[in-house]
Structure 1
Amino acid sequence: MTANRESIVVSAGQQFRKRGFDDVTIADVMKAAGLTHGGFYGYFGSKDALEVAICERGVADSVAAVAAHGTGDKGADTTPLLRFVRDYVSAEHRDTPEDGCTVGALARDASRSPAEIQRIFASGITGMAESLAHLRQLDSPDEEQSSAPDFATLCTMIGALTLARAVVDADPTLSDTILETARAHIASSASA
């Protein structure tokens, strides 16, 4: 029973990140999980309950992904912050939302969701911004830096990813330019 629930959560998370809450049905989720539609209610009371579970898991994973960059190879060719930004604000992340950040993929959906989901997102956004501030401190341990959450970098990253996804099919060059410009802007602010 636990394996089936996990399969539903993983499948739904991928589909929600790729298509949004409204464009995914319970039947879609259950089919992708290899389970029957009727079995859904043995695991979740409603689609809303599934959305909450997906957000809790996905937002926690997004926060953990930022924090994990602070424990990587200290001798690498770039800083922990810039390594994370390079991975996050990338064509690969843009093109595979189903495998990426829940906060970046579902922020628009969260804005129209009940307060419970917005609270999950608020916690995750704050956690990601705090982790970004920590990465920024790791970049310059000898300099005095604010420990305040780094919302500016987070907004730049998520905004760039969102805009790049919005135009990629119509204007791939513009989409790539948006990503490159955001990475360059964050790099210049990190070295300032």
Structure 2
Amino acid sequence: MRVTRAQAEENRERVIETAGQLFREKGFDGVGLNDLMKAAGLTRGGFYGQFESKLDLAVQALNRAQRYNLERWRPLAEQPRQEALRNLVGDYLSRYHQQHPEDGCALAALAVDAARQPEALKAAFTDNLRTFLDFVAGLCAGDYEEQRQQQAMAVLSTLVGALVLSRATDDADLARGLRRAASQAALEVGAKN
């Protein structure tokens, strides 16, 4: 039975969405095509009709995951800067975000993996990083764009680092302490004029 064009597009979108979740949960190399397609409710045979390679899918999934997160956080830009930054930091360093990488920021979930991947994936990661830095810079209190960009780099590095470390430890108190300390530091840096 032939798949309609609309069904093929729906299947493609489901694979990208599923891949984004699985890659954030298990890493790029922790997910095989058979398991990925099975999780999407499809057979492996349909994969190469939709994607050039697993790398092609990984780039698309990374972009989709980060776009989703930015869309989720974009309403913060309508709030006063201090409040918006406080809400972003609180959401980013929440216990839920720590425990559910599959639903969260692709930067924190995949930074270590991206460093070991081919150039195309590193380029996509870099584009997503720059986009998020620009967003965070818009929430920082600096008087000049260059100052806000520097603040954003410090804030985002603090957030991502704390989240990565809090996910890696089996000590709940240490994880909580990392998130709290990072929250305070990020807010202090982002609030400087």
| TM-score normalised by the chain length of structure 1 | 0.87
Number of positions where the alignment pairs a residue of Structure 1 with one of Structure 2: 180
The superposition leaves residues 120-167 of structure 1 with CA deviations (integer Å, 9 ceiling, x where unpaired) of: 111211211111111124xxxxxx623232100000000000000010
Per the alignment, residue 173 of structure 2 pairs with: 173
Measure the CA separation in 2 of the matches of 1:165 and 1:181.
Answer: 15
CA distance in structure 2 between the aligned counterparts of 1:22 and 1:191, rounded to whole angstroms: 38
**Equivalence for 1:141:** none
Q: How well do the aligned residues superpose, as a CA RMSD in angstroms?
A: 1.7
Q: Which stretch of the first structure deviates more once superposed, 48-57 or 90-99?
A: 48-57
- How far apart are 1:71 and its partner, in Å? 2.3
The one-letter amino acid paired with 1:184 is Q
State the alpha-carbon separation in 1 of the partners of residues 48 and 184 from structure 2.
47
Q: Which runs of 5+ in 2 are unaligned?
A: 1-7
| Residue type at the aligned position of 1:183 | S
Task: Please state how far the C-alpha of 1:15 moved relative to its aligned partner.
Answer: 0.3
1:4 aligned to which of 4, 8, 11 = 11
Q: CA deviation at 1:66?
A: 4.2
**Comparing 110-119 and 156-165, the one that deviates more:** 110-119
Q: CA deviation at 1:65?
A: 4.1
Q: Work out whether residues 95 and 165 of structure 1, in 8 Å CA contact, stay in contact via their aligned partners in 2.
A: yes
Pair 1:124 & 2:128 matched: yes
Match for 1:89: what amino acid?
Answer: L
Give the residue type in structure 2 aligned to 1:18.
Answer: E
When the two structures are superposed, what TM-score results if normalisation uses the length of structure 2? 0.86
Contact 2:155–2:187 (Cα < 8 Å) also in 1: no
Report the Cα distance in structure 2 between the residues aligned to 1:49 and 1:189, rounded to whole angstroms: 37
- Would you say the 8 A contact 1:97–1:105 is kept in 2? yes
The separation in 1 between residues aligned to 2:62 and 2:104, in whole angstroms, is: 13
- Whether the 8 Å contact between 1:59 and 1:121 is mirrored in structure 2 is no
**Out of 64, 70, 84, which is 1:57 matched to?**
64
Deviation at 1:108, TM superposition (A): 0.8
Task: Say yes or no: does 1:19 pair with 2:21.
Answer: no
Change (3 A) 1:182 1:41: same
